[in-house]
Amino acid sequence: MGIDEAVLQDVEATVAAAQSPAVLAELRQKYPRMAWLRCDALDVDEAPWKTVGLFDLHLVGGDHCPGVVKNPAQATGFILARRA
């Protein structure tokens, strides 16, 4: 499936403008077919795809068991990891 560049840029801009974790609900409504998870940044061992505003953004993907991926072409969603 993968996530195209326009969606990546929109997600990044939306998260950058966010002032609260409520941005997750906005993104879920805007992109309902994508996987959306939120946690604390300390709960994710992998390096983020991007650090934007209040969050580290991680790409999520996988055929059977989801995991953090580095390539947007393999991604099916995001983890928004809130930094302290």
CB 76 within 8 A of CB 61: yes
What distance in Å separates the CA atoms of residue 63 and residue 41, rounded to the nearest whole number?
A: 24
What distance in Å separates the CA atoms of residue 10 and residue 15, rounded to the nearest whole number?
A: 9
Secondary structure letter of residue 25 according to DSSP = H
What distance in Å separates the CA atoms of residue 1 and residue 29, rounded to the nearest whole number?
A: 19
Q: How confident is the model at residue 7 (pLDDT cuts 50, 70, 90)?
A: very high
What total of structural domains would you count in the chain?
A: 1
Tell me the residue range of the domain where 29 lies: 5-82
Percent of the chain with pLDDT over 90: 86
pLDDT digits (tens, 9 = 90+) for 37-65: 999 999 999 999 999 999 999 999 987 78
